[in-house]
Amino acid sequence: MAIKRFIVELGYGADLHGKDVTKAACRAVKDAISHSCLCGIIELAGVKDPNKMVIRLLIACPYPERVDKEKVAAQLPFGSVEIETVQGGLDAKGIEVAALGEGDRIVVANAALTVFLNEEDINIGD
């Protein structure tokens, strides 16, 4: 079954205290989805069930092996989610504030969120 790309959205997220790349990745995904209203999936493509979407997430961050992919996928309310993590993002000197987390490092994650539709689910003109 062939899939067609519908939208690509980018997001940024950071953990300012604690060096938690999963937290940064979750924030990056939330940032990406906050920029988009996918009304075209229903109104133009005629897809009645948003769970028919196929979502591919590319997360770039320091320590990509530490990302909890299930927690990141849980940020998306619809669709089947595939996640790839790669080296990237940023690890910068911050300040330690014990009440907010351990460590003085800021980690940044970037997300590229791509939404696809299966050709058989697209009903243009219906």
What are the tens digits of pLDDT across the range 29-49? 999 999 888 888 878 788 888
What is the extent of the structural domain holding 44? 3-121
Cα–Cα distance measured from residue 64 to residue 110, given in angstroms and rounded to the nearest whole number: 11
Would 22 be classed as within a structural domain?
A: yes
Is 18 within the bounds of a domain? yes
Question: Which has the closest alpha carbon to 111: 18, 4, 34?
Answer: 34
- Is 51 within a domain? yes
Q: CATH number of the domain at 117, please.
A: 3.30.1330.20
pLDDT, tens only, 48-88: 888 889 999 999 999 999 999 999 999 999 999 999 999 99
In a domain, 64, yes or no: yes
HSE value, Cβ hemisphere, 13 Å, CA-based, for 36: 20
Position 27 in a domain: yes
Count Cα atoms within 13 angstroms, Cβ side, for 26: 15
Q: Is residue 67 part of a domain?
A: yes
- State the pTM of this model: 0.91
In a domain, residue 126? The reply is no
Q: How many domains are contained in the chain?
A: 1
Give CA separation, 105 vs 17, 37, 48, 52, 65, in Å: 6, 34, 44, 39, 18
Whole-angstrom Cα distance, residue 100 to residue 69? Answer: 23
Task: Look at residue 63 and tell me if it is in a domain.
Answer: yes
